[in-house]
Structure 1
Amino acid sequence: MSTKTSPNVSHGDRDVALANEILRVTVGSGAHGMAIEGHDDNDEMGVYVQHPAQLLGLSPTASHYVSRTQPEGSRSGPGDTDLVIYALRKFIRLAAAGNPTILIPFWSPSSDLLVSTPLGDELRSLRSQFATRQAGRRFLGYLDGQRDRLLGRGRQSRVPNRPELVAAHGYDTKYASHALRLGLQGIELITTGQLSLPLRSEDLEPCMEIKRGQVGYDEALRRIDDVRSRLAELLDGQVAVRDEPDMDVVNNWMVHAHRRHWDW
């Protein structure tokens, strides 16, 4: 008897995205130095330039392309690859808003660059525009989201969907470790204007102790809450970064980048 299988995920402007990609990097646990061999999937993020007809005309368009080796609704596991390639305009909008995941390509080390073009290099050189107080607040917000899911609160209103971790350690150690990471990275970003990838050793070790289940739930939550308080206090004071990006600089680069890519 045959077994029906669900197709892998692939949607968005595949042909346009892959033909006009200017940057792709490793993201996820691997980028942060938090991957555990045999336990984590492979996450990649890219940026592409949309076709002129999509930008200026009425041609159908999507703002990103997504490819996953697992079917829709299925969790990725070891050996799986999740890829998202954002249209440049959407990528910049998310970066300007301070989305923590979107900021990763700006500070990726050369070893994590999978696709790199001159325009991609120029995009990465704008990193200082996106190291902002506004981004720090987004790190804080993402930390709170992870913490709420860890506690079974928030929009999901349930404990995160990794029952094997809860069974082994009493709580979802992956969510907890990423909550702590977000707080530590937010502190680094607003105090230095940089993101270390992988994490600095003094930040990586406490995160990995949680992810490996080497500390109990109460200690993990104490660490998360302590870092959250530190980040919130810093955000209310003077910081080493601008409040928000200089959008005149960013917009000017975007216009010229599109024109050069298409040789207008």
Structure 2
Amino acid sequence: MTAGLDAVARANEILRTEAGSGVHGLAIAGVSDHDENGVFIEPAEHVMGLAGPLDHYTRRDRPEGHRSQAGDRECTLYSLRKFLRLAVAGNPNLLLVLYAPKESVFRSTPLGDELRALGPAFLSQQAARRTVGYLDGQVAMLLGRGRQKDMPKRPELVAAHGYDTKFASHALRLGLQGLEMTEHARLTLPMPAEQRERVLAVKSGAVPDLDAVLAEIAAVRDRIESLLDAGTTPLPAEPDTDRISAWSVEAHLRHWAATAPRGDRR
């Protein structure tokens, strides 16, 4: 089924972009891997028939459960229905697909272009709070607290710098992007130069004081929370689900009509 799902996902792909550190402008040569995320439309029999839904497919150079190494490639394709559910909920990793710069878009059909044009409809106060939740998760993993306390750390980074600089940089990056979203209702990729340089400094171990990094992360987090609590943000309370849902129905129908065997087209 895995090979079949790969073929179905690739044949029905409408959008694929760079993800991870590359799209943020935070990749480090000789250290970073290469990630991609994309979207495909399930064939009609998997949506309305009995074939069963196809949620997503991941292809990676290393087996599941093994950490990626420098230069490794990983690509995850999500069904449009699953992608929309996650993006509407404010998943910060999937929002990147909608805001990736042109040079980071590896494939986009007309439907993919339309999906990216819907990007602002996904940004909301709900998405900003979700980003804060992801930030908190990274800090928890960094400090070995809560549900994340048993997560494997990167011992080589801890040995070199005294703390896991990658977890710390993820948390700071999420905070800065969440703040931009909350203040300006936008998401800039790659990150603005000044912010990118600061996150890279943490990621590379150039900031040896963990307490200083945690204080910086906390300050950004508090700024997001204060703006949201005060209602002083241009973000709507919720995403425009009516617009997104209407487009999704039309996109499925158009894709099925275009890909149906010639004799089945009406």
Q: TM-score, normalised on structure 2?
A: 0.93
Note the C-alpha offset of 1:212. 1.1
Indicate if the aligned counterparts of 2:136 and 2:171 stay in contact, CA closer than 8 A. yes
Equivalent of 1:19 in 6, 11, 14: 11
User: What is the count of residue pairs matched by the alignment?
Assistant: 255
Calculate percent identity across the aligned residue pairs. Answer: 51
* Runs of 4+ more than 3 Å apart: none
Q: How far apart in 2 are the matches of 1:160 and 1:29?
A: 20
Q: Is the 8 A contact 1:151 1:159 kept in 2?
A: no
1:129 to 121, 127, 148: 121
The reply to whether residue 249 of structure 1 matches residue 252 of structure 2 is: no
SS of the residue aligned with 1:114? Answer: strand
1:239 partner letter:
T
Query: How far apart, in 1, do the equivalents of 2:16 and 2:218 lie?
Result: 34
- Aligned-residue RMSD, C-alpha: 1.3
Q: Map of 1:1-264 to 2, 5 A cutoff?
A: 13-158=5-150, 160-215=152-207, 216-237=209-230, 238-263=232-257
- Which consecutive unaligned segments of at least 5 residues does structure 2 have? 258-265
Please list the CA deviations of residues 173-201 of structure 1 after superposition, one character each: whole Å capped at 9, or x if unmatched: 00000100101100101221211111012
Q: Is the 8 A contact 1:153 1:159 kept in 2?
A: no
* SS, match of residue 241 in structure 1: coil
Cα distance per residue 1:209-250 (max 9 Å; x no partner) = 111111121111111111111111111122111111122111
Contact 1:149 1:159 in 2 (8 A): yes
Report the AA paired with residue 243 of structure 1.
A
Q: Is the 8 A contact 1:12 1:63 kept in 2?
A: no
* Richer in helix (by share): 2
Asked whether the 8 Å contact 2:137–2:148 carries over to 1, the reply is no
Q: Which shifted more, 241-250 or 21-30? A: 241-250
CA contact (8 A) 1:12 1:64 kept: no
Aligned to 1:13, what secondary structure does the other structure show?
A: helix
Q: Scaled by the length of structure 1, what TM-score is found?
A: 0.93
Is contact 1:68-1:81 (8 Å) kept? yes
Kindly indicate whether the alpha-carbon contact (under 8 Å) linking 1:150 and 1:160 is maintained by their aligned counterparts in 2. no
